[in-house]
Structure 1
Amino acid sequence: MTNIDNYHLIPLSIQPQGKEYLVGNADLDEFYQLPTEGVRVIECLKEGHSLDQIKKICLDEFNEDIDLESFVEFLLEAGFLYKSQADAESAIKAHTTQTAATDKRWVFRMSPKVASLFFSWPIVLLYCLALTSAVYLYITEPQVRINLSAFYITEHFTVFFLTLLFSFSVVSLLHEFGHMVAGSRLGLEPRLGIGNRLWTIVAECDLSGIYSQPKSKRYLPLMAGMLVDLFSISCIVIALYFLTSYGVEGTGIQILQALILQILITISWQFHFFLKTDVYYILSNYTDNPNLDQQARTYLNAWLSRLTFGRAGASLPTDTTGTQLKTMRIFSSVWLIGRIVSITFLILIIVPALAQYARDAWQAVTSGAQVDFWTKVDLVAFFIFSFLVFGGGMTLWLRGRFNFLKRNQNVANG
């Protein structure tokens, strides 16, 4: 039996999560779903009760003999329980130092007081005014409406591509800025890095510690990015109105129209919640399932084990509840179908389109005097930049898959 009389429990946040509780530590960024009994044991540890006293308390309150030894071992393995306060402080400091050394993402620091100013009534009023004005202009002014042909260009390919790429990068950073400011308002220290969603390169805001906040307070940081996207579209619509009113036209106007299309595509992409998009995290929060993605992978891994008669994959954990199993079945179906559709889109749409760009560039180069020199340079540069963006995303995606398979192989080999 583990003697815990002199053990030290680190500060833990305990937030209701459906019928269970989400328990963890923001500094370690470790959170676990625990039943009421587990939370009661933690409360008893905080109060300084011995193991025998906790057993008696749980027996009186829940009318059952709880396996406290196993639960204490779990707390020790999770890094929530230590032999002394000095050991706890040393472990957290070591974790923080290691994270700072290995995590190259940019840490965003803003005081909650300053961050709250971005959500004050004057700012909210400005946001609503911009959104309302954009809706009004969209209804009354045909020249600011969505141009579905904005991506189709016949000249200045490279300038168009690079300008749109730069503009969208700025909008993407504003999107992440929304997440980071909303997180800072709750006292979090978000991290910003570059990652990928399948083969698409994206900026990623890590709202570490958000599960230490009450469920209702998590929604704004999770939704803030899409709210900023709507504000960006509104500002572009207003800019289009003034520019076209003064007779401005040509490539600049088309770039702004294409930027609106790209932001709308990005917003729709957020609803591909089979990936870890904003909507995925909103849905996870709403359904009280912070690990939907991992649950889907676990369920599909179990099916792989069945189909291969245990040669691959792994069985479901023995403690999987009926509710968890139902969630796994539903989300794993969405997870699998979404990836099949995405890969089909990659094979049938994206790769052929890139190949067509390559053919156009090659034909321009080999056509002799039929195409002028700068048009050839334009087409070739356009293809090269397009390929680099696509290739960079594919590299991140395939490297992530390779590392995932390698980790699983190492686990399997012990």
Structure 2
Amino acid sequence: MNGTVRLHRLTMVTEDDGVMVGRPDTGSYAVFPEEGAQALRMFADGVPVGEVADWYERTCGGPLDMDDFLETLADLGFLHTGGPVAEQRRVRWQGLGRALFSWPAWAAYAVLVAAAVTMMVRDPGLRPSYHQVFFTHYLTLIPLTVFALALPCIVVHEAFHALAARRLGLPSTLGIGRRLYYLVAETRLDSLLSVERRKRYLVFWAGMLADVILLCGFTLLSLALDTNAIPSWIHKLCLAVAFTCVLRLIWQFLFYLETDIYYVVSTATGCTDLQNASRFRLRTGFRRTLRLAPPTPDTEWSQRDHAVARWYAPLLFAGYGFSLASLAWAGIPTATHFWTTVADRLGDPHTPFWDLVDAAGFLLLSGLQIGLLVHVTLRDRRNRSRPHSPQGALT
């Protein structure tokens, strides 16, 4: 085996349990032992396959199954089969990302937060409360208006994740995902595995930073618009949108749903795929309880993932239990109340016209949401068999 092996442009980051090797352009990553990573470096330097095999045998005291090794590289998409190796492209919006997280920007954020907190202390009416959502009695108008204004806020949240990564030269993609029975916007940042762990934390926290900035901004805007010259519902609507920012901040603490804080914890504990390792541990325990054959893992997890999964798996189980219990306690009764109200309106021949329009609008919105949830669920099931990065997606 005197030929050479051509590789795509790969990144290598030393982890606790090996070297994370990957292609940021495709999001394909895997952990290699140091000797395997060194073999890849030798391939990249043009060392013939036979010499790499000889080096490995001298260093490790045993032969390397080169055919199996090359097959693994091919499965990961690391092998370059023809044409010139693509040059690394400059990531768009990298300058904007650097500006948003520069020291002048941090100073402006601090002033904004200090001003908003001061006003909330002075005026209790500006403090976040669920009462602020009900700025009108129309069932359809509340979700339509709040969602129309909250949607750009969600985009800003995800954009802060993406721009925090792009300032490092890392690409990202936006999309819609699912966490249990929740639909979420998400930013896929598989390329984060290309940089040291300490550089990932700001990317994880960036979305929550955006929510705090938006919360304070809408609170101060509400205060500015609370004048006799402007209809009162406008400043109340600003507070309603500000409250949705609070809900997004609370959501991030549901770490068992792979929120931003989950990735902070996972990175701090040195894990690469903690969520799936914990799920597998739960499935194994469940089948063992039923005296069934243990499940077969579809991937291999690091020793660190298995070690942390011992204490994280019970938290994951409790978290899922909490969400399902919340659905039974509050979600289903609330939905039942809404649907009963709609049915009563549609079934009553004396229902006013605009109340009928309100009920029809609620049915349309609910149908769209349910349809989107079904679509995302089916899409995720189709994608399970495809290779994926352990980094996941930020919400």
Q: TM-score, normalised by structure 1?
A: 0.80
User: How much does 1:148 deviate?
Assistant: 3.1
Query: CA distance change for structure 1 residues 366 and 7 in 2, over 3 Å: closer, same or farther?
Result: closer
Task: List per-residue Cα deviations over 1:205-228 (Å, max 9, x = no partner).
Answer: 222422112222222222221111
Larger relative contact order (CA 8 Å, sep ≥ 6): 2
Question: What corresponds to 1:103 in structure 2?
Answer: none
Q: How many aligned positions are there?
A: 383
Q: Measure the CA separation in 2 of the matches of 1:5 and 1:333.
A: 51
SS of corresponding position for 2:257? coil
Is 1:325 aligned to residue 306 of structure 2?
Answer: yes
Which ranges in structure 1 are unaligned for 5 or more consecutive residues?
A: 94-107, 409-414
Aligned to 2:18: 20
Question: Could you tell me how far apart the structure 2 residues matched to 1:213 and 1:320 are?
Answer: 20
- 1:301–1:314 Cα contact (<8 Å) kept: no
Aligned to 1:7: 5
Name the structure 2 match of 1:47. 45
Q: 1:18 to 1:312 in 2, by over 3 A?
A: closer
What's the RMSD between the two structures over aligned residues?
3.3
Residues 1:303 and 1:50: Cα distance change in structure 2 (over 3 Å) = farther
Letter in 1 for 2:62: D
Q: 1:389 to 1:149 in 2, by over 3 A?
A: farther
| Cα distance per residue 1:126-159 (max 9 Å; x no partner) | 2221111111111122221122322346623322
Structure 1 pair 392/200, CA: closer, same or farther in 2 (3 Å)? farther
| Change in CA separation of 1:248 and 1:18 when aligned onto 2, cut-off 3 Å | farther
Matched, 1:348 2:351: no
1:67 aligns with 2:64: yes
State the Cα distance separating 1:18 from its structure 2 match: 2.5
5+ residue gaps, structure 2, are 387-395
Q: Which residue of 1 aligns with 2:378?
A: 399
> Match for residue 389 of structure 2?
none
**What is aligned with 2:76?**
78
Asked if the contact 1:301–1:315 (Cα under 8 Å) also holds between the matched residues in 2, the reply is no
Query: Which residue of structure 2 lines up, in the alignment, with residue 282 of structure 1?
Result: 264
Deviates more, 1:158-167 or 1:209-218: 209-218
Separation in 2 of the partners of 1:301 and 1:234? 43
Is the Cα–Cα contact under 8 Å of residues 298 and 316 in structure 1 kept in the other structure?
no
Q: Is the 8 A contact 1:127 1:231 kept in 2?
A: yes
Residue 190 of structure 1, CA deviation: 1.8
What amino acid sits opposite 1:392 in the alignment?
Answer: G
| Paired amino acid for 1:226 | M
From 162, 168, 182, the counterpart of 2:164:
182
1:362 counterpart = 2:343: yes
Check conservation: 1:215, 1:285, Cα contact below 8 A. yes
- 1:304-315 aligned within 5 A: 306-307=288-289, 313-314=295-296
Q: Structure 1 counterpart of 2:11, which letter?
A: S
Flag the 1:390–1:80 CA change in 2: closer, same or farther, 3 A: closer
Q: Do structure 1's residue 218 and structure 2's residue 200 form an aligned pair?
A: yes
Percent identical: 22
Residue 318 (structure 2) pairs with residue 337 (structure 1): yes
Query: Which deviates the most, 386-395 or 123-132?
Result: 386-395
- CA distance in 1 between partners of 2:205 and 2:262 (Å): 11
Counterpart in the other structure of 1:253:
235
2:47 & 2:349 partners in 1: Cα distance?
87
Aligned partners of 1:171 and 1:162: how far apart in 2? 15
